[in-house]
Amino acid sequence: MHKHTPWMVVAPVALVAVPPAWGAQYLSLEQAQQQMFPAGSRFEPVALTADAARKERIAAAGAVMSSIAPRAWLVRAGNSTAGYFFAQEVLGKQELISYAVAIDAEGKVRGVEILAYRESHGYEVRNPRWRAQFNGKGASDPLRLDSDIANISGATLSCRHLTDGVRYLIALHQAVLSARP
């Protein structure tokens, strides 16, 4: 005969791990535009459309088409084109990283800014020295993590996805926007 001890019956308990809320908004679009282009610059929104041939050129550059469409602005200083400003989002580890890239009139990266970072790890990509590695890079540069862009231990996915995102925007600029007036 088995003895039953009712006080030892344990009801199943569902344990739910709720991750802490992380994230910070560092710059607005307007603040990033002001930081990357001189005062008095005008920002004109640009529609980004790529036909099949342009999509092939983007892919040939080793750039992965993003599922999140970037936004773009033509930047004018007086009557001349100063460059282009892009706002985009990439996935960090689990959350989106909002960032901006400025490309000058010669097609070279002028700057990369992190607008919002929502992850608990990997925020080191905000380090100005890490972001400065992109400055001066253009369509002829490979932009590969661990070869010409240094990785940050503990922020590998953020580094990889931002590097891929910048390479995509450079390729998009080269294929779609560089022929514009």
User: Which H or E run contains 35?
Assistant: helix 29-36
CA 82 – CA 124 distance, rounded (Å) = 29
Q: How many domains does the chain have?
A: 1
Question: Is 92 part of any domain?
Answer: yes
Q: What is the pLDDT at residue 105?
A: 92
Q: What is the pLDDT at residue 179?
A: 62
Question: Is 4 part of any domain?
Answer: no
DSSP letter (8 states) at residue 175: I
Q: What is the pLDDT at residue 181?
A: 52
What are the structure tokens assigned to 23, written together? 């994230």
The band of 92, judged by pLDDT with boundaries at 50, 70 and 90, is confident
For residue 48, pLDDT beyond 50:
yes
The band of 173, judged by pLDDT with boundaries at 50, 70 and 90, is very high
The band of 151, judged by pLDDT with boundaries at 50, 70 and 90, is very high
Q: What is the pLDDT at residue 122?
A: 83
Q: What is the pLDDT at residue 13?
A: 47
Question: Is 20 part of any domain?
Answer: no
Q: What is the pLDDT of residues 120-147, one digit of tens each?
A: 888 899 999 999 999 999 999 989 999 9
More reliable by pLDDT, 11 or 119: 119
Sign of CA dihedral 133, 168, 116, 91: negative
The band of 61, judged by pLDDT with boundaries at 50, 70 and 90, is confident
For residue 4, pLDDT beyond 80:
no
Residue with tokens 């980004």: 48
Question: Is 115 part of any domain?
Answer: yes
Instruction: Tell me the mean pLDDT in the region 146-166.
Output: 93
Global pTM value: 0.83
Question: Is 140 part of any domain?
Answer: yes
Helix (H, G, I), strand (E, B) or coil at 114: strand
Q: What is the pLDDT of residues 11-43, one digit of tens each?
A: 454 445 444 446 788 899 999 999 999 888 999
98, β-bridge pairs: 89, 116
Closest to 54 in 3D by CA, of 177, 166, 144:
177
CA 65 – CA 164 distance, rounded (Å) = 10
Question: Is 122 part of any domain?
Answer: yes
Q: What is the residue range of 108's domain? A: 26-177
Question: Is 59 part of any domain?
Answer: yes
What does the mean pLDDT of the chain come to? 85
CA 67 – CA 47 distance, rounded (Å) = 16
Q: Count Cβ atoms within 10 A of the Cβ of residue 145 and give its class: 0-12 exposed, 13-18 middle, 19 or more buried.
A: middle
Question: Is 19 part of any domain?
Answer: no
